[in-house]
Structure 1
Amino acid sequence: MIAQSMYRNGAILMAFALATTGSVALVQSLTAERIAIQEKQHLMQLLGQVLNADEHDNLLYLDCTTSNAPELGPGGPHIIYRASKAGKPSALLVRHVTPKGYSGNIDILTAVKADGSIAGVRVTRHEETPGLGDKVELAKSDWITTFNGMTISEANVKQFAVKKDGGQIDQFTGATITPRAVVNSVKQAVMYTQKNFNTFFSGENTCNGASQ
Structure 2
Amino acid sequence: MSEDIKEPKPAKSWLKSSPFAHGLMLGLFSLVTAGLLAMADQTTQAPIAQRSAEDLAASLAQVLPAEIYDNDPATDLRSVEDADEGMVSVHIAAKGNSVTGMAYELVGFGYSGAIRVLIGIAPDGTLLGVRVLSHTETPGLGDKIEVAKGDWIEGFTGRSLTDPTPDGWKVKRDGGVFDQFSGATITPRAVVGTIARGLTFYERNRLALTAPIPRNGDE
Q: Is TM-score (shorter-chain normalized) higher than 0.5?
A: yes
**Shift of residue 126 of structure 1?**
1.2
Answer yes or no: is 1:30 the counterpart of 2:43: yes
- Alignment correspondent of 2:89: 79
Answer yes or no: is 1:43 the counterpart of 2:53: no
* Residues 120-160 of structure 1: CA deviation (Å, up to 9, x unaligned): 11111211111111111111111110101112129722222
Q: For structure 1, which runs of at least 5 residues remain unmatched after alignment?
A: 206-212
Task: Label 1:131 to 1:154 Cα distance change in 2 as closer, same or farther (>3 A).
Answer: closer
**Shift of residue 117 of structure 1?**
0.5
Query: SS of the counterpart of 1:131?
Result: coil
Q: For structure 2, which runs of at least 5 residues remain unmatched after alignment?
A: 1-12, 215-219
Q: Give the TM-score of the pair, scaled to structure 1.
A: 0.80
CA RMSD of aligned residues (A): 3.1
- Alignment correspondent of 1:185: 194
Instruction: Please point out which of 80, 89, 100 is paired with 1:90.
Output: 100
Higher relative contact order (CA 8 A, sep 6+): 1
In the alignment, residue 37 of structure 1 is paired with which amino acid? Q
Q: Which has the larger radius of gyration?
A: 2
Instruction: Please point out which of 79, 82, 91 is paired with 1:69.
Output: 82
Query: SS of the counterpart of 2:60?
Result: helix
* Residues 21-73 of structure 1: CA deviation (Å, up to 9, x unaligned): 4443222112011100010011100111111111111111211123453644x
Q: Pick the structure with more helix per residue.
A: 1
Instruction: Please point out which of 163, 175, 181 is paired with 2:172.
Output: 163
Query: SS of the counterpart of 2:162?
Result: coil
Q: Percent same amino acid among aligned pairs?
A: 36
Cα contact 1:63–1:81 (8 A) shared by 2: yes
Distance across 2 between alignment mates of 1:66 and 1:190 = 16
Distance across 1 between alignment mates of 2:209 and 2:56 = 20
Cα contact 1:110–1:120 (8 A) shared by 2: yes
- Alignment correspondent of 2:5: none
Instruction: Please point out which of 132, 151, 169 is paired with 1:123.
Output: 132
**Shift of residue 19 of structure 1?**
5.7
Distance across 1 between alignment mates of 2:135 and 2:27 = 47
- Alignment correspondent of 1:134: 143
Task: Label 1:199 to 1:62 Cα distance change in 2 as closer, same or farther (>3 A).
Answer: same
Query: SS of the counterpart of 2:155?
Result: helix
In the alignment, residue 40 of structure 2 is paired with which amino acid? V
* Residues 82-104 of structure 1: CA deviation (Å, up to 9, x unaligned): 111122011120111113x1112
In the alignment, residue 116 of structure 1 is paired with which amino acid? G
Aligned length, in residue pairs: 201
- Alignment correspondent of 2:113: 104
Cα contact 1:63–1:82 (8 A) shared by 2: yes
